[in-house]
Chain A
Amino acid sequence: MNQEYEMVIGLEVHCELKTQSKIFCACPTSFGAQPNTHCCPVCLGMPGALPSLNREAVRLAARAGIALNCEIHTHSQMDRKNYFYPDMPKAYQITQFTYPLCTCGWLEIEGEDGKKRIGITRIHIEEDAGKMIHTPHGSLIDYNRCGVPLIEIVSEPDLRSAQEAKAYVQKLRSILTAAGVSDCKMQEGSLRVDVNLSVRKKGDLSLGVRTEMKNLNSVQFMGKAIEFEAQRQVGVLESGAAVFQETRRYNEETGRTEIMRRKEEAEDYRYFPDPDLQVVYLSREEIEQIAGEMPQLPDERLCYYQEKYGLPAQDAGLLSQNLSVSRCFEQAACHSKYPKIAANILIANWLPFFDFSGEEEFPQLWEQLSSLADLFGDARLNSGTVKNLAVRIWKTGEDPKTIAQRENLWQIQDEAALLPIIQNVLAECPRAVQDYHCGRQQALGPLMGQVIRRTSGRADPQIVRRLLIEILARNGEKENLGG
């Protein structure tokens, strides 16, 4: 993008709450059921059906607010947002408009110049709509998702790049999953992002005209959509034209954003308080109780790993941001004598295979990990073997002890067994021995390599090294004496 410009981005993130039942009826919320099987008169908007608020949804929303440093209001209100669309059988969505449950929060991301705090304007509770499926023979509607509880998290326009927006969504996901508020699975639609974006000349204090991009369902596409749209807006401004306030959609195939509707076409939702529902009340005690039940959040875990296991900040950071990674590490750490080794094995050998922005859970191989750490810590396996085993275990989930036993991978520490091998190597590599005696310490490396290779990688490198040095020193003395 043109270096004179900067982006101003605010995000609206919709996130499904992890309740058993829907927000206004007892229908289940589980994903993937046969279409239109999780429905009742309430979520189908039958005449005479009435909503009754699922308190668990309110508690989870409050928990999200607490995790995001928001003020939680004891009194909030459900409103009706009126519009016609076939996926909304009542022709209104029950949401919170005037008095949301949470306001004034923030979260911290790793920005381009260090830590950056992103403001959260509000979090409100609402119900999800059904899903339209368009076929050549007409449109079909699945109402299973109708009435699934959502929170909408609205950020301040504090983000300045696609990178920051991506970091924000990642951080949000990591906090909300850790807090047990949501699964945040973008592929299943349990987390969806709307982007509000404008551009301005750097140094300008006023905001440019913004466009809104709706329903981005992957972090990658969101990043691309932001890059494209910012580029487009700069192009428009540079050509002397004006950006219009409008709603756009991102076309994943063309990589471009397309207009959906102009501001003038925007609907009047005629918000008003839903007369079927009482004011949502959470007492101060309840809010405190919810805060007290909060599971450990990523940044708290980071500090905890540093303190408890003595991990460096960067390692603690890698292990704390994804709940399933943390779970695997913590289990291994508390079952192993060597938590720090477990951390190193996991970070060095497994994390490179794990996609943090994806939706797959990190495999819970903690038993294997703790055993591997112990075998290494107790010098039963050497580091090369551990590396090999770690990669194999990632693929197969096998038990390290079983493999080591079967394939006889145990480390050789018996000096009597190692001495003849070392003698042979020294005899066969006069050149390296010569170099060593001339003062080139690094000649030790190839010699060690040879010894370890001849033990199929099983020789304990520490012992090999010590023995090599001892023998070479003795041989050197002999030579000196002899000469």
Chain B
Amino acid sequence: MSLTKLSMAELAVLLRSRQISAVETAAEYFDKIEKEDGKIGAYLTVTKEIALRQAEAIDQKRAAGEELPPFAGVPAAVKDNICVAGVRMTCASKILENFVAPYDAAAVERLRQNGIILLGKTNLDEFAMGSTTENSAFQITRNPRAVEYVPGGSSGGSAAAVAAETAVFALGSDTGGSVRLPASHCGVVGLKPTYGAVSRWGLTAFASSLDQVGILARTVEDTGAVLQMIVGPDSRDATSCEQARGLFVADIPPQKKWKIALPQELLGAQISDNVREAVARAAHVLESYGAQVEWIRMPSLRYALSTYYIISSAEASSNLARFDGVRYGRRAQGYTDMNSLYEKSRSEGFGREVKRRLLLGAFVLSAGYQERYYRNALRVRERIRTEWQEVFTKYDAVLSPVSPDTAAKIGARDPDPVKQYKGDLCTVPVNLAGLPAVSVPFGKGENEMPVGVQIVGNVFSEQSLLQIAALLEREALI
């Protein structure tokens, strides 16, 4: 069996027992990337030299009998909006085409401390804005399950790399579903941790109050182990939480009978039959394990999409203002004064979807409109948060679809941006409330494309979510 087929847990056993070396493992992954990534397009940058140096160091330490972290030598990929020192970070935007990150993101530091080998940087929708990875300024990423389909987005490169077995796992970022959605479309596990559980230091900000570093992995067990590596408070991120400690081992047998809620608002007419059936089957499986599943109403979720697009665009319009061509990044030629430097650099540097959101964001914050749009959105956000909290006083978790449908074909998305945004219906309410959620593969749709189901829990309930996800994962395999 090929090395690249192994999960992180399986691979780590071989590495620890020195049946294979870290260098051999990395080399095999790079071979596979060279052979197969041409048709998938998951990677924007491959960091072979860095990876082999890391791998050699680990092999030497292991040979010298040094105690190493349990997963040392496992190779992984990082979404290209997360800083890796000395490596180009483009955010899939022309404006950062030649930008080299001067430092490591906190999550990347943690991976390094755990001996994880960095294979390269993966493709995304420009600045993580989009849900198909078609908004990348550089390349299309194809769904490894069927290459005429999109992988979902915005962490489409990370999901595709894990699904194509060109990375053991990958880091992504999730502002409104950007980890869970591509995980669902590519048939891998995707976890968006509680807001503040993983430091955002080094993650290029899209919408600071919603962004969270997430994980794409082949199994629920691997997901928990990666979370264990990257979770924890960080003094450099004022929004990171002290509670973000603890163990995230998923294969503990469930000690309790779960109470699971199904919100009607997330299972309405917008949801395709394929997906609705998958959720229903998942509910049955959980019931068969003794869970109590009930329908609930969450009326505020009707406003989640507009609330999300107002807040995320408002924050983005401010966060992306730093890309102005002055200090770093792309500076346009032929400017005549300061303002034309800004205008030209930003006009040339940003793609259509990014510009759309920057304009929308500047508008909802502007004098005379801020109260009506941005401030109201903050109020609705509080209501949504409260409604989730009420649900979690009665239930352990909420079960829902991840996406209304399975992956679409490349180039087939609706040109109307508002219709595209509607695909985020089930994922954005989670970010608005800062909750953790996992997307776990659960069968296939009519087009034979994977379907994922989403389990949402209260803040810092990752442990429970992973246990429930593990039940569904086992059932889906049978």
Residues of A within 8 A of B (CB): 41, 44-53, 80, 82, 84-86, 89-92, 141, 143, 268, 270-272, 275-278
Contact = CB atoms under 8 A, between A and B. Distances in A.
Contacts of A47: 81, 83, 89, 91, 96, 99, 101, 204-205, 322-323
A273 to B, nearest CB: 8
A48 B101 CA distance: 9
B70 to A, nearest CB: 28
23 contacts: A45-B327, A47-B322, A48-B204, A49-B201, A49-B202, A50-B236, A50-B237, A52-B238, A53-B238, A82-B318, A82-B321, A86-B338, A89-B327, A91-B318, A91-B321, A91-B322, A92-B318, A270-B366, A271-B365, A272-B370, A275-B315, A276-B238, A277-B238
Given A47-B83, A48-B201, A275 B208 contact: yes
A460 B209 CA distance: 81
B342 A51 contact: no
Interface in B320-375: 321-324, 326-328, 338-339, 342, 362, 365-367, 370, 374
What's the dominant secondary structure at chain A's contact region?
loop
A276 B207 CA distance: 10
A90 B327 CA distance: 10
Contacts of B328: 46
Interface of B: 81-83, 89, 91, 96, 99, 101-103, 105, 200-205, 207-209, 235-239, 314-315, 317-318, 321-324, 326-328, 338-339, 342, 362, 365-367, 370, 374
A143 B89 CA distance: 23
Given A46-B328, A84-B342, A275-B208, A41 B102 contact: yes
Contacts of A277: 238-239
A82 B365 CA distance: 10
Given A84-B321, A86-B326, A92-B321, A272 B314 contact: yes
Contacts of A90: 321-322
Nearest to A276: B208
Contact of B318 (A53, A80, A86): A80
B367 to A, nearest CB: 5
B102 A278 contact: no
Contacts of B202: 48-49
A271 B342 CA distance: 21
Contacts of B99: 47
Nearest to B361: A270
| Most chain B CB atoms below 10 A, which of A82, A92, A275 | A275
Contacts of A278: 238-239
A270 B366 CA distance: 5
Contacts of A80: 318
Given A48-B105, A48-B205, A52-B237, A84 B324 contact: yes
A45 B342 CA distance: 16
Nearest to A274: B208
Given A89-B326, A270-B365, A48 B237 contact: no
A270 B326 contact: no
B361 to A, nearest CB: 9
Of B96, B209, B235, B365, most buried by chain A (CB within 10 Å of CB) is B365
A480 B367 CA distance: 101
A135 to B, nearest CB: 15
B326 A46 contact: no
B241 to A, nearest CB: 11
B222 to A, nearest CB: 25
The 4 A-B residue pairs with the shortest CB-CB distance in the complex, in nearest-first order: A91-B321, A275-B209, A270-B365, A275-B208
**Most chain B Cβ neighbours within 10 Å, of A48, A89, A268, A276:** A48
Contact of B83 (A48, A91, A275): A48
Nearest to A143: B327
